[in-house]
C-alpha cells in the first residue's frame, strides 16, 4: 500500500430516494472540500438518473479523492419507489443489499481494494442501521446521518414512551388536538395530529411505523449522529437528543453550509443540481417577468402522491386567490391519473400560473419574484425556504412532514399549517393571508430566522464549527 494508506477515506451510503441522496451529496462535497477522500455509494437506479439529469460526475471530477460506486436496491426496475411504496425499498435493501454491502466492504471487496486508501469511516443513512453491524464487524467507525429535523427525530425517539403511556395506537374516538406529554420539550404544542403520518395507523403493525421506530432506537450504537439542522432553530430538541446520543453534529442547513464554503474557495461557484428529474428552467424566465414577491411557489417534494380531488381543490384555491403561481406537478404524482393533468387545470393556469414537472427549487426560492411557498413540509424544502426567507403554507403529506409543519406554524411562526385540510376556500384564504393581509406580521420571524440560518454557516457559526468537528473526528478516528 502506498503513502495514502493511512489517509482518511469516508464511505457515504444514502437511502436511495431524492431527499436523502441530494443532501448526502452535499455532505460529500463538504467533506471533499476539506480534503477527505470520499466514496459515494448509490443504488444503480438512482445513479442512472443522476447521470441522466445532472452534471454530478463532472462537478465532482474536480475532487481527485471522490468516486461513485453503485449497488442494487434489490427491487425490480419498474417498482414505483414512491408514495407509500417507499417502505418496500427499505425491506429490500435490508434483505438483498445488506449482504452485498458487507461483501464489497470486506478487504479485497470493490470498496476496499487497490489504489485507494481503505475505508476508514462510514457515514450511512440513519434509517439503514444494518450498516452499523457491518461497519462494527469490520472495525470501522460509523456515523449516522438523518435527513429529518431534530424535532422529528426526537418525536420518533419518544414513540416507545407514547406506546407505554397509551397515546399510541391512536383510537377511533381520540381527540386529535390533544397535546402529548410524553414528547419532552414539545408538550406545549405537539398534538396527536402532529405525530408522523404513520402513527395514525389503527394498529402498530404498519411497516413504515415499525421501520422508523426501530431504526431510531438503534441510533445510539453508532459513533455519532449528524443532523441537517442548526442550533438556533432546534436548540430544545437537540438538547433532548444529546441526553441519549451525546455525540451529535448539527451541521445544517447543508445547502447553505456548502454554498458558503464553495464561495470561500471559488470566485464563481458553478450551479449545482442533484435532481432525479429533468429541471425545467423555463420557469426561471417566467419568474423574471413577474413582480417582486408576487408569486406563490407550489411544490410537494419528491414522493407526495396527490389524489385527483386534492389536485383540483388546490388548483381552485390557487386560482381563486388571484395570485400568480408556479406549480411543480411531478410525473406520475397524481394518483390514478397517470401523467395526465386534467385539461381544465392546464387551461386555467394559462392566465396566472405556470406549471412544470420539476424545478430548480433552490434557485426558484431565491428568486425575488417568489413571495410564498405552498409546501409539503419536507425537511429539505423547509430549510431551503428558511434560508431564502420565504414564508410557507404547509400541507404535510407523509412521515416527518406533520411534525415540521407544526413547528413552522406554531413555534417558529414562519407560515401557516394547513394540516389535514384540502379545501379550495381554506386554501384561497390562507394564500391571501400569506401574500397580503398577514404578510408583515410573518416577515419579522421569517427574516430573523433567515439571518440565524445564514449566520450558523459562517466562520464561528455553530453549524460551521460542528462540521469542522466532524471532519476532525473523521480524520483522527482510526480503524
Ligand atoms: C422526504 C422527507 O419528507 C424529508 O423531510 C426528508 O428529509 C427526506 O425525504 P421529500 O419529499 O423529497 O423528502 O422532500 P424534501 O425533503 O423537501 O426534499 C425535496 C428536495 O427536492 C428539495 O431539496 C428540493 O429543493 C428538491 N426539489 C423539489 C427540486 O429540486 N425541484 C422540485 O421541483 C421539487
Give the span between the Cα atoms of 458 and 321, in whole angstroms.
Answer: 39
Burial class of residue 308 (count of CB atoms within 10 Å of its CB; 0-12, 13-18, 19+): middle
Give the span between the Cα atoms of 109 and 103, in whole angstroms.
Answer: 6
Mean pLDDT across 121-141? 96
Instruction: Compute, in angstroms, the gap from residue 270 CA to the centroid of ligand 1.
Output: 21
The residue to which cell 423547509 is assigned:
382
Q: Residue 198 has what pLDDT?
A: 85
Instruction: Compute, in angstroms, the gap from residue 236 CA to the centroid of ligand 1.
Output: 24
Instruction: Compute, in angstroms, the gap from residue 359 CA to the centroid of ligand 1.
Output: 11
The model's confidence at residue 477, banded by pLDDT at 50, 70 and 90, is: confident
Per-residue pLDDT of 420-433, as tens digits, reads 999 999 999 999 99
Q: Which long-range contacts (CB under 8 A, 24 or more apart) does 314-317 make?
A: 314/374, 314/395, 314/422, 314/424, 314/427, 315/345, 315/348, 315/349, 316/424, 316/427, 316/428, 317/423, 317/424, 317/425, 317/426, 317/427, 317/428, 317/431
Closest C-alpha to ligand 1, atom 27: 361
Which atom of ligand 1 is nearest the CA belonging to 381?
17
Give the span between the Cα atoms of 222 and 229, in whole angstroms.
Answer: 19
Which atom of ligand 1 is nearest the CA belonging to 23?
23
Catalytic residues: 20, 125
Mean pLDDT across 105-132? 89
Q: Residue 80 has what pLDDT?
A: 84
Give the span between the Cα atoms of 65 and 270, in whole angstroms.
Answer: 19
The residue to which cell 447521470 is assigned:
51
b/e per residue, 372-390, with b = 16+ CB within 10 A? bbbbbbbbbbbbbbbbbbb
Task: Work out the widest C-alpha separation in the chain, in whole angstroms.
Answer: 68
Closest CA to 375 of 384, 367, 366: 384
Asked if residue 240 has its Cβ within 6 Å of ligand 1, the reply is: no
Give the DSSP H or E segment for 355.
strand 353-356
Instruction: Compute, in angstroms, the gap from residue 164 CA to the centroid of ligand 1.
Output: 33
Q: Residue 467 has what pLDDT?
A: 98
Asked if residue 227 has its Cβ within 6 Å of ligand 1, the reply is: no
Asked if residue 400 has its Cβ within 6 Å of ligand 1, the reply is: yes
Q: Residue 82 has what pLDDT?
A: 77
Asked if residue 303 has its Cβ within 6 Å of ligand 1, the reply is: yes
Q: What is the mean pLDDT of the chain?
A: 92
Q: Residue 2 has what pLDDT?
A: 44
The residue to which cell 428552467 is assigned:
281
Q: Residue 361 has what pLDDT?
A: 97
Q: Residue 231 has what pLDDT?
A: 98
Bridge-based pairing of strands 370-375 and 295-299 is: parallel
Instruction: Compute, in angstroms, the gap from residue 299 CA to the centroid of ligand 1.
Output: 9
The model's confidence at residue 1, banded by pLDDT at 50, 70 and 90, is: very low
Closest CA to 250 of 264, 263, 240: 240
- Residue 121: beta bridge partners? 10
Give the DSSP H or E segment for 22.
helix 18-33
The model's confidence at residue 115, banded by pLDDT at 50, 70 and 90, is: confident
Asked if residue 466 has its Cβ within 6 Å of ligand 1, the reply is: no
Q: Residue 479 has what pLDDT?
A: 52
Percent of the chain predicted with pLDDT > 70: 95
Is pLDDT at 197 greater than 50 in this prediction? yes
Per-residue pLDDT of 352-406, as tens digits, reads 899 999 999 999 999 999 999 999 999 999 999 999 999 999 999 988 999 999 9
For the chain, what is the radius of gyration of the CA atoms?
Answer: 22
Is pLDDT at 188 greater than 60 in this prediction? yes
Q: Which of 26, 380, 407 to mutate to test the pocket of ligand 1 (most atoms within 8 A of CB)?
A: 380
Per-residue pLDDT of 392-449, as tens digits, reads 999 999 889 999 999 999 999 999 999 999 999 999 999 999 999 999 999 999 999 9
Q: What is the SS3 assignment for 76-92?
A: CCCCCCCHHHHHHHHHH
Which atom of ligand 1 is nearest the CA belonging to 377?
17
Closest CA to 426 of 298, 282, 314, 327: 314
Give the span between the Cα atoms of 93 and 73, in whole angstroms.
Answer: 5
> How many helices and strands, by DSSP H and E, does the chain display?
20, 13
Asked if residue 302 has its Cβ within 6 Å of ligand 1, the reply is: yes
Mean pLDDT across 228-243? 98
Per-residue pLDDT of 451-470, as tens digits, reads 999 999 999 899 999 999 99
Q: Residue 349 has what pLDDT?
A: 58
Asked if residue 379 has its Cβ within 6 Å of ligand 1, the reply is: yes
3-state secondary structure of 42: strand
Instruction: Compute, in angstroms, the gap from residue 165 CA to the centroid of ligand 1.
Output: 33
Question: ipTM score here?
Answer: 0.98
Which atom of ligand 1 is nearest the CA belonging to 404?
5
Instruction: Compute, in angstroms, the gap from residue 380 CA to the centroid of ligand 1.
Output: 5
Return phi, psi of residue 451, to 5°: -65, -40
Asked if residue 362 has its Cβ within 6 Å of ligand 1, the reply is: yes
Closest C-alpha to ligand 1, atom 2: 378
Q: Residue 42 has what pLDDT?
A: 97
Q: Do residues 11 and 111 make contact, with C-beta atoms less than 8 angstroms apart? A: yes
Asked if residue 381 has its Cβ within 6 Å of ligand 1, the reply is: yes
Return phi, psi of residue 147, to 5°: -85, -5
Which atom of ligand 1 is nearest the CA belonging to 302?
12
Mean pLDDT across 232-260? 97
Closest CA to 453 of 394, 368, 409, 387: 387
Q: Do residues 318 and 427 make contact, with C-beta atoms less than 8 angstroms apart? A: yes
Is pLDDT at 344 greater than 70 in this prediction? no
Amino acid at each position: 500500500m502506498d503513502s495514502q494508506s493511512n489517509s482518511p477515506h469516508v464511505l457515504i451510503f444514502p437511502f436511495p430516494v431524492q431527499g436523502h441522496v441530494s443532501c448526502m451529496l452535499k455532505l460529500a462535497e463538504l467533506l471533499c472540500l476539506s480534503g477527505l477522500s470520499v466514496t459515494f455509494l448509490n443504488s444503480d437506479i438512482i445513479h442512472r438518473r443522476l447521470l441522466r439529469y445532472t452534471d454530478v460526475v463532472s462537478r465532482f471530477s474536480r475532487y481527485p479523492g471522490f468516486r461513485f460506486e453503485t449497488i442494487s436496491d434489490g427491487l425490480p426496475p419498474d417498482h414505483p419507489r414512491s408514495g407509500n411504496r417507499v417502505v418496500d425499498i427499505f425491506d429490500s435493501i435490508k434483505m438483498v443489499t445488506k449482504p452485498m454491502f458487507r461483501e464489497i466492504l470486506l478487504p479485497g471487496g470493490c470498496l476496499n481494494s487497490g489504489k485507494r486508501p481503505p475505508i476508514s469511516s462510514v457515514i450511512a443513512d440513519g434509517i439503514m442501521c444494518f450498516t452499523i453491524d457491518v461497519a462494527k464487524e469490520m472495525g470501522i467507525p460509523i456515523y449516522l446521518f438523518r435527513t429529518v429535523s431534530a424535532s422529528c427525530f426526537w418525536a420518533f425517539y419518544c414513540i416507545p414512551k407514547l406506546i407505554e403511556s397509551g397515546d399510541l395506537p391512536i383510537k377511533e374516538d381520540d381527540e386529535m388536538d390533544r397535546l402529548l406529554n410524553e414528547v419532552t420539550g414539545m408538550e406545549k404544542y405537539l398534538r396527536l395530529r402532529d405525530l408522523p403520518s404513520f402513527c395514525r395507523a389503527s394498529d402498530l403493525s404498519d411497516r413504515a411505523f415499525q421501520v422508523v421506530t426501530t431504526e431510531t432506537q438503534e441510533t445510539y450504537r453508532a459513533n455519532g449522529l449528524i443532523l441537517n439542522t442548526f442550533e438556533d432553530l432546534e436548540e430544545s430538541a437537540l438538547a433532548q437528543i444529546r441526553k441519549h446520543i451525546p455525540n451529535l453534529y448539527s451541521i445544517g442547513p447543508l445547502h447553505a453550509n456548502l454554498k458558503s464554503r464553495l464561495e470561500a474557495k471559488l470566485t464563481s461557484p458553478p450551479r449545482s443540481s442533484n435532481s432525479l428529474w429533468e429541471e425545467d428552467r423555463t420557469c426561471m424566465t417566467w419568474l423574471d417577468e413577474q413582480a417582486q414577491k408576487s408569486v406563490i411557489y407550489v411544490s410537494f417534494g419528491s414522493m407526495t402522491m396527490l389524489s385527483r380531488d386534492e389536485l383540483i381543490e388546490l388548483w381552485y384555491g390557487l386560482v381563486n386567490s388571484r395570485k400568480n403561481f408556479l406549480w411543480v406537478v411531478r410525473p406520475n404524482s397524481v394518483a390514478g391519473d397517470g401523467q395526465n393533468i386534467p385539461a381544465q387545470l392546464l387551461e386555467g393556469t394559462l392566465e396566472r400560473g405556470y406549471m412544470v414537472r420539476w424545478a430548480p427549487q433552490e434557485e426558484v426560492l431565491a428568486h425575488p419574484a417568489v413571495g410564498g411557498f405552498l409546501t409539503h413540509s419536507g425537511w429539505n424544502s423547509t430549510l431551503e425556504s428558511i434560508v431564502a426567507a420565504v414564508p410557507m403554507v404547509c400541507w404535510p403529506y407523509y412521515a416527518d412532514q406533520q411534525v415540521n409543519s407544526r413547528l413552522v406554524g406554531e413555534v417558529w411562526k414562519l407560515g401557516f399549517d394547513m394540516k389535514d385540510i384540502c379545501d379550495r376556500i381554506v386554501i384561497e384564504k390562507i394564500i391571501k393571508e400569506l401574500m397580503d393581509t398577514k404578510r408583515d406580521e410573518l416577515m419579522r420571524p421569517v427574516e430573523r430566522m433567515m439571518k440565524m440560518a445564514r449566520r450558523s454557516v459562517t466562520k464561528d457559526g455553530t453549524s460551521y464549527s460542528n462540521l469542522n468537528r466532524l471532519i476532525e473526528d473523521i480524520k483522527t478516528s482510526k480503524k
